[in-house]
Every structure is written in structure tokens, then in C-alpha cells.
Amino acid sequence: MSDPLDDADCVDPHLHATLPAPTRRGFLKSAGAATGALATALPGAPVAAAPADAAPPPPAPRPASPPRRITLTVNGARHELLVEPRVTLLDALREHLALYGTKKGCDRGQCGACTVLVDGRRINSCLTLAVMQEDRAITTIEGLGQPGALHAMQAAFIEHDAFQCGYCTPGQICSAVALLQEARDGQASAVSADLRQPAALSDDEIRERMSGNLCRCGAYPNIVTAVRVVAAIRPVA
């Protein structure tokens, strides 16, 4: 005896005409909806998470820091400034003291155009805060020499054409002045052959010690020459 379910006479002739053909996508959507409904119906069910592409709420605005009064000693002169605590030394020099010789290049400590001397040591002034440099001696390119009385390094840069556009030159000169003293103090570089004695400033030593200062004009050979000439006036070793 045949199964009634297999009998074509028992099938509604209009069934296939009214129901859409099942698909894999439709099945997955139906199963997901049923699972979600069951989960939310259970007691203690977790709250559904926000969609992954939902934008996070904006952070609450931070209150502005009140200005702070500081005293900077720049090129031998004391200056009282009222600055916001996050002002960099670079911006304090340029915007508050009008010392535009210190240049803003990358503003990220990568190009060296903003190099100044603090207690005789070279630093990138864009990477330090003005409030951190109180009670220290700051020297900018304006403090190294004056027209008619140039620093030896300034004169050597002019004599040997160690610049073209000149934008990086203040930082180059400040860095070069500092490296001479660093070598005399016995500070080694990555190419120093003997760490037990001051390094003679060969061209390789000068290039390595000046590597933090970029010249987009490519005046590096003349920069090395200028530094070597000044170093010869008072040999390191």
C-alpha cells in the first residue's frame, strides 16, 4: 500500500504556486531572527551590543588650562612670559619673543630646523615645553653672533656656502656648535672607533653627529667642510 504522503492526489495543487522556493539566505535569516527572539525572551538575557559601525560618543571637552607666568633666560636676557602650559619652547621663542631665527619645520623633532642650545646642549625646541626650561640658559641662532661679530661657525657656513635656501641653517649651526663641544667632552657617536678617548672629527664623525639635521637643498658636503674647518681651529684630539 502506498504512503498517502507520496500520493500526488493528496497535495494541494495551489501550494507550490503560493509558497516561494526556500533559499539558503532566507533560512539563515529566519534562524538568526528566531535565535535572537529566544535569547531576549529568556530571563537575565544580556542586552544586545551596539552595531560595530556605530560611532562612539564624542569625548567631553577638556577645560582649558589657565595661562602660567614663567621666566626664560634667552641669549643672556631674562623674559617674563604668560603662556599656556602646553606651549612649546619653539612657539614661545617665535610667537612671544619674536626670535624667528629658530625655524618650525616638521614640528615633530625629525628635521632639526628648530635646534637651540639649552645649557650648552642641543635640543629640538619643538619637543620641549617652555615651562620646562625655566632657570636654564637658552641660546638661539641670534645669540651666537651678531652682524660684524659672527660666531666662527656662522662665518664658516658663509665662507664655504654651506646653505642654499637657508631655512635649516640656524638649526644646522646650533647643532654644529654643540657637536664640537660634545666631541671635546669625549662623547662618542655611533661611528666612534675608540670610546676611551675623544673622537677625532673625521668627515664620517661629522656626518653622523649632524645626522639629526636635514637639509632639503642637499648642502651636506659644504656643511661638513664648514664644521671641519672650525674644528681645526681648536682640534678635538
Residues, the chain: 237
Is pTM beyond 0.75? Reply is: no
Question: Which CATH architecture is the domain 145-237 placed in?
Answer: Orthogonal Bundle (1.10)
Q: 154: which 3 cell numbers?
A: 656662522
- The residue-averaged pLDDT of 98-117 equals 97
pLDDT at site 8:
47
CA distances from 43 to 39, 153, 225 (A): 9, 80, 81
pLDDT at site 219:
96
Is pLDDT of 16 > 70? no
Which tens digits make up the pLDDT trace of 148-189?
899 999 999 999 999 999 999 999 999 999 999 999 888 889
Question: Which CATH architecture is the domain 66-143 placed in?
Answer: Roll (3.10)
Is pLDDT of 138 > 50? yes
- The residue-averaged pLDDT of 186-203 equals 84
- Residues 6 or more apart whose CB falls under 8 angstroms from that of 138 comprise 72, 73, 74, 75, 89, 93, 116, 117, 118
Which tens digits make up the pLDDT trace of 25-76?
777 777 666 665 555 555 555 555 656 677 888 888 877 788 999 999 999 9
The backbone torsions φ and ψ at residue 69, rounded to the nearest 5 degrees and listed phi first, read -90, 125
- Contact, 102 vs 125, CB < 8 A? yes
Give the start-to-end residue ranges of the domains of the chain: 66-143, 145-237
pLDDT band at 5 (very low <50, low <70, confident <90, very high): very low
